[in-house]
């Protein structure tokens, strides 16, 4: 009997299987595929963000259909893929989704964009190292007490094995990322959707509330920006997909 497929789509803080340490345990029950988006590779050089190309990677990985679990920026390609091929998507799990295009006019998203837009405007004049350092400084300064992007609340997360890469390579990848608010994202009607947030950053709570208003289920954990690494967040993912598989 063929196992149901789950496609995992990473954010910016890791890729492939290393971005999903707790979800490895699902491989016994599911056909789990841990993707690498465009420019995320240990050998090939980083490349600029390709929203459409990333969506095609997700669609190709779905093959005859399955569930998609996406973190942060990975939710962009996931939503684009689901809009193009909703027939292939049995369910969506979006973890702190960076779907800023959907909430462009709302206050937390507007503040985030105004905070970062000047950096992207002068991107061409900056080195990789300078851009990456400023990007991390600016995103850290937006945070509430729960942590920073890529971090998680104390005591809730598990250690991850991140691919060993040079600081220069990581900085180059960050510098090549397109602004998330430029992504052509739309709502996917009729697909069972779970949104999980860490309850620490207004931006992600605003996006989650928007998705909940369109029919998604929204759950808040204390897993910071990576709720999938906490036991509560991992359990939510498994329970939701299991329920969809059972017809619930």
Q: Where are the domains of the chain?
A: 5-245
Residue 128 has pLDDT above 70, yes or no: yes
**Residues 97, 189, 80, CA angle at the centre, nearest 5°?**
50
Share of the chain above pLDDT 90, in %: 83
Please give the average per-residue pLDDT across 13-21, as a whole number: 94
Residue 135 has which token pair? Answer: 């990007």
Task: Identify the band that residue 148 occupies on the pLDDT scale cut at 50, 70 and 90.
Answer: very low
pTM over 0.95, yes/no: no
User: What pLDDT score does 141 carry?
Assistant: 65
For residue 12, what are its two tokens?
A: 């910016």
Using the predicted structure, report yes or no on whether residue 112 has a pLDDT greater than 70.
yes
pLDDT at 164: 67
Q: Which residues of 170-184 are buried (b: 16+ CB within 10 A; e: fewer)?
A: bbbbbbbbebbbebe
Beta bridge partners of 34: 8
Q: What CA–CA distance (Å, rounded) separates 226 from 203?
A: 15
DSSP per-residue letters across 121-174: HTGGGS-HHHHHHHHHHHHHHT--TT--TT---TTT----------HHHHHHHH
How far is the C-alpha of 152 from the C-alpha of 229, rounded, in Å? Answer: 9
The rounded distance, in Å, linking the Cα atoms of 128 and 172 is: 5
**pLDDT of 149 strictly over 90:** no
Rounded to whole angstroms, the Cα distance separating 100 from 134 reads 20
Euclidean distance between the first and final Cα of the chain, in Å? 21
Local structure of 215: helix, strand or coil: coil
Predicted local confidence at residue 93, as pLDDT: 98
- Cα–Cα distance, 31 to 1 (Å, whole number): 11
- What is the maximal distance between C-alpha atoms in the chain? 55
Q: Which CATH class is domain 5-245?
A: alpha beta
User: Which of 187, 228, 215 lies closest to 99, judged by CA?
Assistant: 187
Query: For 147, left (φ over 0), alpha (ψ -120 to 50), or beta?
Result: left
Task: Name the residue with higher pLDDT: 222 or 39.
Answer: 39
Q: Residue 143: what pLDDT?
A: 55
- Which run of H or of E encompasses 62? helix 51-62
User: Two tokens at 164?
Assistant: 């060993």
Q: What's the confidence (pLDDT) of residue 31?
A: 98
Task: Place 139 in a pLDDT band, splitting at 50, 70 and 90.
Answer: confident
Q: Which two tokens stand for residue 43?
A: 């050998």
pLDDT band at 183 (very low <50, low <70, confident <90, very high): very high
Residues 6+ apart with CB under 8 A from 240: 91, 93, 192, 194, 217
């Amino acid at each position: 009997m063929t196992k149901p497929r789950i496609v995992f789509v990473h954010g910016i803080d890791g890729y492939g299987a290393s971005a999903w340490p707790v979800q490895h345990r699902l491989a016994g029950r599911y056909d789990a595929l841990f993707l690498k988006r465009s420019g995320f590779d240990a050998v090939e050089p980083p490349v600029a963000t390709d929203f459409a190309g990333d969506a095609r990677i997700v669609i190709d990985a779905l093959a005859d259909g399955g569930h998609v679990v996406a973190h942060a920026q990975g939710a962009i390609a996931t939503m684009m893929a689901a809009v193009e091929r909703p027939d292939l998507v049995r369910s969506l799990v979006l973890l702190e989704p960076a779907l800023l295009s959907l909430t462009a006019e709302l206050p937390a998203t507007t503040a985030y964009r105004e905070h970062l837009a000047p950096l992207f405007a002068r991107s061409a004049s900056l080195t990789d190292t300078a851009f990456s350092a400023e990007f991390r400084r600016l995103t850290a300064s937006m945070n509430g007490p729960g942590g920073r992007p890529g971090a998680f609340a104390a005591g809730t997360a598990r250690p991850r094995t991140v691919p060993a890469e040079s600081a220069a390579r990581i900085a180059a990848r960050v510098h090549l990322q397109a602004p998330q608010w430029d992504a052509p994202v739309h709502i996917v009607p009729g697909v069972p959707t779970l949104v999980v947030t860490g309850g620490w950053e207004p931006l992600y709570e605003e996006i989650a509330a928007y998705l909940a208003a369109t029919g998604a289920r929204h759950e808040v954990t204390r897993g910071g920006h990576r709720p999938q690494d906490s036991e509560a967040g991992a359990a939510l993912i498994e329970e939701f997909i299991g329920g969809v598989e059972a017809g619930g």
